[in-house]
């Protein structure tokens, strides 16, 4: 595949292989951009903004609606690409492609709701003769840097709102999963988006990332990825808007009155979706001691039923991690925890990039797998017997994206909702639930700002005040 620069699909002699992590086959290649390509993307994006900011709301919405229709009509094609280049099974990939249709549709709808308000100038003496309002305007060039784990829908979460707001975009997709992103850009151009409005540049992040992030022509960086990369970007960006979603450790409290079947099924799915490479995947299960043994038994039994292997087979429950090196890292973390006294209840094995769904208990606080985001198919069980202590334990790590609690007690639910230190609390769901239109983001090291289409639009626009002094009224 090619990259889109200055309205043209271009290739380069220097290529990057896109590898299927299941069998290490080469699916396709993409160009490895150079510094000249970075400058082309930046200068073209500035010119593209002159086009995008003059597009009517109607035109922006129609383009996004049509792009959604194109994706919907080719859902299996998009799903197959997602599954081949990444870790998701074909069934998981179909769900992501369907969510992308919803994301683009909602972006179109939200483009019509970028609203301002009148301002009561006469609320302070001296303003009696003044009338006015504020409206929101696009900020300019948005740099979107996207991750591998949702290679289509998380791209849509940046492109959809940016285009809906009237911005131009430079998209830098994940190096290992660029194909879904390129197909989405193709759909947008086919839907009528002027190609100058979007630049899609493929390449090695360490090579082209810094000059893109630090350039003053970029007015916002929207990044989804790891904490260390986020810190690096924040240090390089300069004076511009930054939106970041940096992951979590997703604690779930299972209280003594929980619906056990619902909690087990939800949390097994939440732990191992996309081979655990999911920023809202369940990592820590804090289970009331009165039901701990029964929960553990059912959880382990269901986990053992998971079939791992070929992503394209309909009966596969979980595919490989994104690379063998990532799989080796998780294997190492499990062994370290085991060496320090943790008990592996099931799993722990690895074959190539395939890691068995792994459940641990008695994980010590100084084990890496306890205090770092694992981003792999492992989950830790901890018995608890006091709600305040469970909430304190959930809040104890430097992340705060989503948390969850299973309970039938409304007072327990409300207490958790208000005291869990995070961007969202799921009640009687695992943390692995997200509506694309909800405000999505976290506190502490989990990020800055909020995604979710209405909320992304707020981040990608600025308010402008208009005040009339009317002495004749």
Q: Which residues are catalytic?
A: 245, 279
Report the alpha-carbon distance of residue 397 to residue 376 in Å, rounded: 18
The secondary structure of residue 113, as a DSSP letter, is G
Is 4 in contact with 12 (CB distance < 8 Å)?
A: no
268: its two tokens: 């097994």
Residues 6+ apart with CB under 8 A from 44: 5, 6, 7, 196, 199
| Strands of the sheet with 461-469, listed across from one edge | 117-118, 130-138, 461-469
Sign of the alpha-carbon dihedral angle for 194, 9, 74, 319: negative
Geometric angle at alpha carbon 254, from 249 and 256, rounded to 5°: 160
Q: Is 36 helix (H, G, I), strand (E, B) or coil?
A: helix
By the 8 A CB rule, do 420 and 391 touch? yes
CA 136/CA 194 separation, integer angstroms: 22
Q: Within 13 Å, how many C-alpha atoms sit on residue 80's CB side?
A: 5
Q: 6-22 burial by CB neighbour count: b if 16+ within 10 A, else e?
A: beebeebeeebebbbbb
Please state whether beta strands 130-138 and 461-469 pair in parallel, antiparallel, or not at all (unpaired). antiparallel
**Euclidean distance between CA atoms 380 and 35, whole angstroms:** 44
**Around Cβ 294, how many Cβ atoms within 10 Å?**
12
Q: What is the DSSP letter of 175?
A: T
Tell me the backbone φ, ψ of residue 247, rounded to 5 degrees.
Answer: 100, -175
Residue 373 to residues 329, 413, 426, Cα–Cα distance (Å): 12, 25, 19
Dist. CA 216–CA 235, nearest whole Å: 14
Nearest to 390 by CA among 403, 401, 408: 403
Distance, in Å, from the CA atom of 78 to the CA atom of 263, rounded to the nearest integer, reads 32
Query: How far from each other are the two terminal CA atoms of the chain, in whole angstroms?
Result: 63
Contact between 22 and 324 (Cβ < 8 Å): no
């Amino acid at each position: 595949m090619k990259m889109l620069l200055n309205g043209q699909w271009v290739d380069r002699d220097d290529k990057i292989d896109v590898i299927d992590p299941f069998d290490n086959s080469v699916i396709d290649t993409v160009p490895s951009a150079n510094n000249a390509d970075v400058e082309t993307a930046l200068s073209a994006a500035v010119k593209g903004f002159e086009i995008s900011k003059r597009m009517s709301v109607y035109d922006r919405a129609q383009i996004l609606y049509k792009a959604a229709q194109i994706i919907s009509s080719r859902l299996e094609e998009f799903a197959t690409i997602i599954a081949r280049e990444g870790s998701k099974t074909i069934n998981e990939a179909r769900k992501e492609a369907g969510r992308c249709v919803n994301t683009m549709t909602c972006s179109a709808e939200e483009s019509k709701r970028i609203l301002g308000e009148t301002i009561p100038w006469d609320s302070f003496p001296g303003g009696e003769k003044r009338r006015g309002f504020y409206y929101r305007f696009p900020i300019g060039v948005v740099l979107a840097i996207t991750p591998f784990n949702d290679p289509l829908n998380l791209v849509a979460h940046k492109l959809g709102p940016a285009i809906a707001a009237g911005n131009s975009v430079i998209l830098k997709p994940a190096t290992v999963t660029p194909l879904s992103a390129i197909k989405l850009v193709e759909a947008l151009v086919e839907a009528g988006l002027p190609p100058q409005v979007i630049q899609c540049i493929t390449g090695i992040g360490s090579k082209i990332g810094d000059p893109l992030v630090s350039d003053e022509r970029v007015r916002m960086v929207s990044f989804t990825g790891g904490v260390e990369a986020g810190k690096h970007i924040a240090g390089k960006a300069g004076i511009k808007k930054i939106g970041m979603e940096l992951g979590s450790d997703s604690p779930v409290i299972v209280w003594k009155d929980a619906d056990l079947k619902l909690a087990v099924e939800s949390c097994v799915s939440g732990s191992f979706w996309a081979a655990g490479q999911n920023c809202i995947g369940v990592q820590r299960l804090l289970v009331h001691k009165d039901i701990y043994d029964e929960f553990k038994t059912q959880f382990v039994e269901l986990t053992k039923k998971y079939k791992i292997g070929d992503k394209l087979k309909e009966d596969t429950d979980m595919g490989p991690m994104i690379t063998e090196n990532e799989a080796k890292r998780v294997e190492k973390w499990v062994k370290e925890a085991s060496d320090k006294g943790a008990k592996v209840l099931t799993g722990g094995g690895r074959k190539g990039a395939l890691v068995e769904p792994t459940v641990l208990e008695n994980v010590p606080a100084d084990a890496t797998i306890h205090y770092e985001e694992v981003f792999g198919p492992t989950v830790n069980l901890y018995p608890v017997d006091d709600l305040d202590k469970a909430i304190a334990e959930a809040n104890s790590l430097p992340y705060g994206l989503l948390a969850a609690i299973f309970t039938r007690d409304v007072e327990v639910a409300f207490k958790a909702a208000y005291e869990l230190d995070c961007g969202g609390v799921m009640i009687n769901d695992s943390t692995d639930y997200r509506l694309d239109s909800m405000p999505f983001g976290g506190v502490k090291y989990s990020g800055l700002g909020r995604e979710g289409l209405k909320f992304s639009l707020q981040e990608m626009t600025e308010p402008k005040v208009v005040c009339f002094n009317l002495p004749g009224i």
